[in-house]
Amino acid sequence: MSAVKPSPISASVDFERDGVQHGFLKLPYSRDEAAWGAVMIPITVIRNGHGPTALLTGGNHGDEYEGPVALTKLAATLAAEDVRGRVIVLPFMNYPAFRAGTRTSPIDRGNLNRSFPGKPDGTVTEKIADYVERHLLPLADFVLDIHSGGKTLDFLPFAAIHVLDDKDQESRCEAAMQAFNAPYSMRLLELDSVGMFDTAAESAGKVFVSTELGGGGSATAKSIAIADRGVRQFLVHAGICDGRIERRETVVLDMPDSDCYVTSLHDGLLEMCHDLGARVDKDEVIARVHDVTRSGEAPIEYRARRSGILAARHFPGLIGRGDTLAVVAEIVG
């Protein structure tokens, strides 16, 4: 095996220096508009002596906005004296996707959350994944990756952890999720975990929490408030910031198997019969898909495959065959 190549990305910040630094991860990217150009990914490091490190990321997908908004505000306001240890803030992790307002990168169509562990000599998206995997994750004890539904999905606001083989690690993740204290808390069974940032962070033994805080390609005052408060409480839980963790009621959800997912088998016009947060029974009609090629046809009915709470839905008015129409989660407590 050949030696692993160095990352082409260079950081303008010094991760070992005390104080607040705002800089960039510079990723050389030669193109028509800039022969010797670079993708400049904003990064903030706030450090004050020794202590734990939190890595806070948004914009893993470029059309999800609670993370970018909350982390931009945090980067602009968190002072070094507020911190014991280190906070690394990456508000727009897949920066080309974020600037384009798309889930994946317009440069290479790369889905960053399917690109881990990445490649130093791969596509732009793979280079970002490789840098985060080999240079940022090893610095971190606590990792928070803020997602929401993007343009095509809408979610009940939840923080999430995965079911892990290491039960000690799982309970540390669970405690951090409880500190984030979103209105809902989810134990996720990932259907397709290969290449995810989550998997990279969890296999490196980190305390990892992700979220889905809304969706539809925008953010609301309510969903941003959940992110702001969650990030602060996550930092208090990590022992990095002082403060009190206020614990509001959170509904614990579970997605125990693939019966939670309802997939559309038709192209058409979507009619949801319930909104997010509705309690639904197994076999209850939750949506109809109407034929858009002619009038006068009966719609196709879609039924819940289990009883539970409507936790996610397809957001746009039109739906395609193979799209996730809804997610019905189990209420645990």
The footprint of Zn ion (CB under 5 A) covers 61, 64, 147
Q: How far apart are CA 209 and CA 161, in angstroms?
A: 6
The backbone region for 61, taken as left when phi is positive above 0, alpha when psi lies in -120 to 50, beta otherwise, is beta
Of residues 98 and 302, the one with the C-beta less far from Zn ion? 98
What residues form DSSP beta bridges with 326?
A: 262, 313
User: CB 210 → Zn ion: shortest distance, Å?
Assistant: 8
List Cβ neighbours of 211 (8 Å cut-off, separation of 6 or more): 66, 67, 144, 145, 146, 147, 148, 157, 158, 159, 160, 180, 182, 227, 230
Residue with smaller CB distance to Zn ion, 98 or 142 = 98
Q: Which is nearer to Zn ion, 22 or 114 (CB)?
A: 114
State in angstroms the smallest separation of the CB of 67 from Zn ion: 9
User: How far apart are CB 330 and Zn ion at their closest, in Å?
Assistant: 22
Residue/partner pairs of 112-117 with CB below 8 Å, 24 or more apart? 112/60, 112/61, 112/197, 113/60, 113/61, 113/147, 113/195, 113/196, 113/197, 113/198, 114/192, 114/194, 114/195, 114/196, 115/195, 116/195, 116/196, 116/197, 116/199, 116/200, 117/200
Q: Which is nearer to Zn ion, 141 or 202 (CB)?
A: 202
* CB of residue 170 to Zn ion, shortest distance in Å: 22
Nearer to Zn ion, 64 or 330 (CB): 64
From the CB of 95, what's the least distance to Zn ion, in Å? Answer: 15
Residue 325: closest CA among 315, 285, 274, 257: 315
CB of residue 48 to Zn ion, shortest distance in Å:
31
Nearer to Zn ion, 152 or 169 (CB): 152
